[in-house]
Copies of this chain bind each other. A is one copy, B any other.
């Protein structure tokens, strides 16, 4: 690597860190909330919108777009109960994960918990779910953030893909620098978003309280007083609509597990700090999600999927802010609206960062266990797992590009992986308490808490598969088992390699004699160096061979006479053997000669020495033929043959 490139690396990534500096890269609770909770908190930017979109598809065809536009169809009233059910689920999961953190202070991701308590199969399913999910977190969050920006700035409309890819690249760069700097860099967006959301809720509920903004929405669907409002929708159909809206809203819960995966990143004592941060996060998430959903219902703000998937429409949060703040064409409302959009973008970018903290960590864990390439476990000179960061960037960018950076298309893929991970993790915790029942007499209440968590997540998982299968969940449902097969294949490969490389397998009867063949085309400086090297490593057991293109067994080809006269002067007295090649091939006769030698002297180690010309400029290589490379490649699979290039550097 050239010095200029090194300088660029240092400017972009910061100075190198020794392994001992690892401790410094830990975070306090305030920064930790920003780093690990942004995924969960930022979900409110799309979860309510996704519930509304799900309900909109259930509208009778006659209601159509017009009804959506005026936002008064009573079906949207279902958003309230759906949101309440989700907050209840959030509470269950929160309590469950609090137990996980305390039980696994070293970081209790679903993969770790499953591996310890449920065995390899469940661990791999959890690992696959999480990896898929981190990729989706990046693609979805950044796409959603960019949608907030394009909603506020019409000139950017239609450039969602380019903006999304740029933002992903930015986050990747920040993470290649290392986590502590990332934390500091991203704390402001998270807290800014929280403040602006609380301001929105406060303004909205104040207006509601003062009697403003209400849209003529019908009562809750369960209210028997207004059954007619739903027209022909009854019984099972209503349950189905509710299930779909509920599974759509579960995207609000993505990221709840992030803290339990990253306990190790917290300052001492990590489990205490992580647990406290989790509580704050759940509280904030519940308030924001419920508040936004209720306000949207009250202010008649709804959302439906854009008919053209490559066009991203205005986000629900942007519509809600406009509805709450009123005229945003000037004055303070204008400023607050734009700040809301900007910080929505910012926290969603930070949310993507959560995945950048966790994906490489999990990939490294699985790499160390041999389920992923070991390269994922290497820490770069900034103490980050660079390979994981790069591959996450690549796949997430590809996904955002293919799906037009459109959350309408991305979100249906999202929650399934999350809840698969939740379910396995909580089931693992149940077994964890059972296994520890001797040491911990009061294990039953703890197991019960996690059991309820597992049951709830499992039901949601089934709900998501049922309700969103055809909309994209099938992709994840296919991908996770495929990944599990891949993990097992990788592991099997590593095991076989390990077995075959065992030091004890080496034959004690190693070759004791050594012979060198020097390849000669004509006599030049490089050939003489190769002959000298042959002398050094093989003493008097050196032989030169020359391929004679055009010659045959009886006649020497053109050029041989000149070569022989040069050899008499510079050949160091070594034997020169001519290999005729009537068909003018070069590589094949050498291969044949090597094979003859191996058959003739099986116990002797053979080194083939190739003089190789190295040009100073890249284009000059086209002026020389790469015989050394071709011979090396051709001889690659001959056991017991070592190919060595003696490189001669050419002048400019």
Instruction: Tell me, yes or no, whether A497 is within 8 Å of chain B by CB.
Output: yes
Nearest chain B CB to A17 CB, angstrom units:
7
Are B511 and A524 neighbours in the complex by a CB distance under 8 Å? no
Q: How far is the CA of A368 from the CA of B583 in the complex (A)?
A: 19
Chain A residues 516-556 with CB under 8 Å of chain B are 523-529, 532-533, 536-538, 549-550, 552
Q: Which residues of B contact A645 (CB under 8 A)?
A: 642-643
Q: Which residues of B contact A605 (CB under 8 A)?
A: 533, 536
Instruction: Tell me, yes or no, whether A493 is within 8 Å of chain B by CB.
Output: yes
Are B510 and A525 neighbours in the complex by a CB distance under 8 Å? no
Are A642 and B646 neighbours in the complex by a CB distance under 8 Å? yes
Q: Name the contact of A501 in the complex, choosing from B490, B493, B502, B526 (C-beta under 8 A).
A: B526
Q: Which residues of B contact A20 (CB under 8 A)?
A: 552, 582
Known: A506-B528, A605-B536, A620-B493. A651 touches B583 (CB 8 A): no
Are B503 and A625 neighbours in the complex by a CB distance under 8 Å? no
Contact with B along A639-652 (1 / 0, CB 8 A): 10011111111111
Known: A550-B19, A583-B381. A496 touches B651 (CB 8 A): yes
Q: Name the contact of A623 in the complex, choosing from B490, B524, B525, B532 (C-beta under 8 A).
A: B490
Instruction: Tell me, yes or no, whether A557 is within 8 Å of chain B by CB.
Output: yes
Q: Which residues of B contact A374 (CB under 8 A)?
A: 623-625
Nearest chain B CB to A496 CB, angstrom units:
5
Are A501 and B524 neighbours in the complex by a CB distance under 8 Å? yes
Instruction: Tell me, yes or no, whether A234 is within 8 Å of chain B by CB.
Output: no
Instruction: Tell me, yes or no, whether A637 is within 8 Å of chain B by CB.
Output: yes
Instruction: Tell me, yes or no, whether A373 is within 8 Å of chain B by CB.
Output: yes
Chain A residues 13-49 with CB under 8 Å of chain B are 16-20
* CB nearest neighbor in B for A511: B536
* CB nearest neighbor in B for A571: B503
Q: Name the contact of A497 in the complex, choosing from B584, B642, B647, B650 (C-beta under 8 A).
A: B650
Known: A622-B373, A644-B644, A651-B496. A584 touches B537 (CB 8 A): no
Are B646 and A644 neighbours in the complex by a CB distance under 8 Å? no
Grouping DSSP codes into helix (H, G, I), strand (E, B) and loop, the A interface class, with mixed when no group exceeds half, is mixed
> How many residues on A have C-beta within 8 angstroms of the other chain's C-beta atoms?
74
Are A497 and B649 neighbours in the complex by a CB distance under 8 Å? no
Q: How far is the CA of A550 from the CA of B22 in the complex (A)?
A: 11
Q: Which residues of B contact A338 (CB under 8 A)?
A: none
Nearest chain B CB to A10 CB, angstrom units:
12
Q: How far is the CA of A493 from the CA of B650 in the complex (A)?
A: 9
Known: A375-B625, A582-B19. A525 touches B537 (CB 8 A): no
Instruction: Tell me, yes or no, whether A330 is within 8 Å of chain B by CB.
Output: no
Q: Which residues of B contact A510 (CB under 8 A)?
A: 529, 532
Are B523 and A537 neighbours in the complex by a CB distance under 8 Å? no
* CB nearest neighbor in B for A380: B584
Contact with B along A497-508 (1 / 0, CB 8 A): 100111101100
Task: Please give 12 more A-B residue pairs, beta carbons under 8 A apart, in addition to A533-B642, A614-B637, A644-B644.
Answer: A18-B552, A19-B550, A374-B623, A494-B623, A496-B650, A501-B648, A503-B523, A505-B525, A506-B570, A537-B607, A614-B636, A636-B647
Interface residues of A (CB under 8 A from B): 16-20, 373-375, 378-381, 490, 493-494, 496-497, 500-503, 505-506, 510-514, 523-529, 532-533, 536-538, 549-550, 552, 557, 566, 569-570, 582-585, 605, 607, 613-614, 620, 622-625, 636-637, 639, 642-652
CB-defined A-B contacts under 8 Å, sample of 11 = A16-B583, A18-B582, A18-B583, A19-B549, A19-B550, A375-B625, A380-B584, A496-B652, A502-B525, A510-B529, A510-B532
